[in-house]
Amino acid sequence: MFIAIDGPDGTGKTMLSKLLVERLNEKNLNAIYTFEPTHSPLGLKIREIIKTNGNPKVVLDLFLKDREEHLETFIRPAINEGKIIVCDRYKLSTVCYQENPEQSMEKLIELNDKFVNPDIYFVMYFDEKDVDLVFERIESRGTNPDVYDTKVWINKVNRNFKEMSSHYKNLTFINTNQTVEEILSQMISTIETYFQNVKKRMYEV
């Protein structure tokens, strides 16, 4: 099973993805955490480039190559072993972050169509009035910021993520303005419903 968790920076994706993996493993569900950009040489190159204003076409190409390699070498084999993969960022990040006048959302969606859709895709978002809170979270990390870590950018990216509902089916949107426990229980109940539906379909055959 393949679960992705996506959304703007500062919405708690990484912490939530790791906690979700822990909770699933407590239920003996054999879950593993992974992330994009990865820690492969390609992924590390991306992390360097996005600290500066890299050429958008080059950056886009690197994200797509990193995703392809991640799927082939890590995600697919793990799915085949029956694991639950929880991937921190996936294709919607490319559509929402790499969008610009030369790289339309439609084009970016098309470029990502070759990559499998997750069974469950959680999309974190925030209400625009909460942008200061989200930005504070980013600043409090104390890590080297990348070019996407500005309020204007985060608002734009957040709007892009919200718009994804008109481009993709079956996204589960989660407002970051809730407690961690509330968010986790929403995630677990979405996963349980998914399993129940799979079971129902098996008995129908």
Applying CB under 6 A, among 3, 11, 75, 89 the residue interacting with ligand TMP is 89
Residues 39-78 that bind ligand TMP (CB under 6 A): 50, 63
Q: What phi and psi, each to the nearest 5 degrees, are found at residue 34?
A: -145, 175
Tell me which stretch binds ligand TMP (CB under 6 A): 19-27, 87-95, 187-195, 197-205. Answer: 87-95
Q: Count Cβ atoms within 10 A of the Cβ of residue 128 and give its class: 0-12 exposed, 13-18 middle, 19 or more buried.
A: exposed
Applying CB under 6 A, among 94, 158, 160, 176 the residue interacting with ligand TMP is 94
Task: Output 31 or 49, the one with its CB closest to ligand TMP.
Answer: 49
CB within 8 Å of 80: residues ≥ 6 apart: none
Residues 105-164 that bind ligand TMP (CB under 6 A): 146, 148
Helices (runs of H) and strands (runs of E) counted in the chain: 9, 5
Instruction: State yes or no: residue 36 binds ligand TMP (CB under 6 A).
Output: yes
Q: How many CA atoms lie within 13 A of 111 on its CB side?
A: 22
Applying CB under 6 A, among 7, 10, 37, 118 the residue interacting with ligand TMP is 37
Tell me which stretch binds ligand TMP (CB under 6 A): 74-82, 92-100, 113-121, 168-176. Answer: 92-100
Q: Of 5, 74, 69, nearest to 43 (Cα)?
A: 69
Task: Output 147 or 188, the one with its CB closest to ligand TMP.
Answer: 147
Q: Of 10, 81, 98, nearest to 46 (Cα)?
A: 98
Query: Least CB distance from residue 193 to ligand TMP, whole Å?
Result: 27
Query: What residue type is assigned to position 109 of the chain?
Result: I
Binding-site ranges for ligand TMP (CB under 6 A): 9, 36-37, 50, 63, 89, 93-94, 97-98, 146, 148
